[in-house]
Amino acid sequence: MNRDEFDKVSLRRHLLAARKALTSEDVERVAGDLAEVALGLPELATAGTIAAYVAIGSEPGTRALLDALRERGTRVLLPVLLDDNDLDWGTYEGPEALVRGRRGLREPGGARLGVSAVLEADAVLLPGLAVDGRGMRLGRGGGSYDRVLERIGKAGADPALVVLLYADEVIARVPEEPHDHPVHAVVTPDGVTRFTA
């Protein structure tokens, strides 16, 4: 294990412990604030298709945002975790159409669109644990979204890449490995931070 991999493991542990300390009321309140801030992003306001995810546990909540996007007429794609940790995609048809997936994830119950469906997205909302001042994102370590970002890059697609976080998860530095990709913006309840290459 190289130094950055080790640093990622210890940083993930620290950030997950902080999230675990949050109450369900904290998570619910932040979800509403995040939705309000995110809905003001021009990248989301003009997007015809957005790839997103359903937050679970103490992740910054996404349900209010997903419902608001759908009400706007935006096509929302949600991931379906495959056996190899890659992501297939389905269309969000509302909370009642979600089913329990692998690892406790909430996934769309309808037709599967294939792993390349994400290439149709004008914006991709990425889960994460932290983002630094360069736009480098720290995920949970499963590699699912690394594959998504690699697929987007290889296809030459250029969706807006946005991470939803708690305010204290925008940090000074995220350990970086060669396969890591920077994001364009991070949304917290306090506002939006944008990154330039």
Annotated binding site for substrate: 54, 59
Torsion of CA 161, 163, 164, 165, to 10 degrees: -160
1 has pLDDT over 80: no
- Average confidence (pLDDT) over 1-14: 71
DSSP assignments along 31-100, one per residue: HHHHHHHHHT-HHHHT-SEEE-----TTSPP-HHHHHHHHHHT-EEEEEEE-TTS-EEEEE---GGGEEE
In angstroms, the CA 102 to CA 113 distance is 18
Per residue in 59-96, pLDDT (tens digit) is 999 999 999 999 999 999 999 999 999 999 999 999 99
Annotated binding site: 8-12, 54, 59, 137-145
Annotated binding site for ATP: 8-12, 137-145
Sheet holding 49-51, edge to edge: 87-91, 75-81, 49-51, 123-126, 160-164, 185-188, 191-194
- Average confidence (pLDDT) over 126-131: 96
Alpha-carbon Rg of the chain, whole angstroms? Answer: 16
pLDDT of residue 197: 54
Rounded to the nearest integer, the mean pLDDT of the chain is: 92
In angstroms, the CA 89 to CA 150 distance is 16
**Dihedral sign computed on CA atoms, order 160, 115, 179, 105:** positive
> Domains of the chain, with CATH numbers?
3-194 (3.40.50.10420)
